[in-house]
C-alpha cells in the first residue's frame, strides 16, 4: 500500500510546514532576550567547545594508535 501524493490530500494552494525543532525554539527565545552581539558570542563559544571536544577525541585516538604501533629498535 502506498501513501497518497501530497497534492491529493491537501487542498490546492496550501503547504505542509515543518514543526519547529527544540533548537529552533531556543534560538527564537534567545533572539528575543539577547542582543545580536551576545548571540554571536554565545554561538562562537559553543563552536569553540565543540571544536575542543573534536580535538580531544582526535588526540585520544592518536594516542591509542601510537600505543598499538610497535616501536622499531636499531
Cα-Cα-Cα-Cα dihedral sign, residues 65, 66, 67, 72: positive
Environment class of 64 (CB within 10 Å of its CB; exposed 0-12, middle 13-18, buried 19+): exposed
Q: E-strand spans in the chain?
A: none
* pLDDT, tens only, 15-61: 667 787 888 888 888 778 877 788 888 889 999 999 999 999 999 99
Mean pLDDT over 7-19 rounds to 63
Please say if the pLDDT value at position 10 is more than 80: no
At residue 44, the pLDDT reads 94
At residue 37, the pLDDT reads 81
Amino acid at each position: 500500500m502506498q501513501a497518497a501524493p501530497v497534492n491529493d490530500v491537501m487542498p490546492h494552494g496550501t503547504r505542509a510546514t515543518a514543526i519547529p525543532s527544540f533548537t529552533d525554539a531556543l534560538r527564537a527565545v534567545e533572539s528575543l532576550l539577547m542582543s545580536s552581539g551576545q548571540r554571536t558570542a554565545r554561538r562562537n563559544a559553543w563552536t569553540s567547545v565543540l571544536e575542543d571536544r573534536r580535538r580531544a577525541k582526535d588526540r585520544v585516538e592518536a594516542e591509542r594508535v601510537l600505543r598499538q604501533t610497535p616501536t622499531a629498535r636499531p
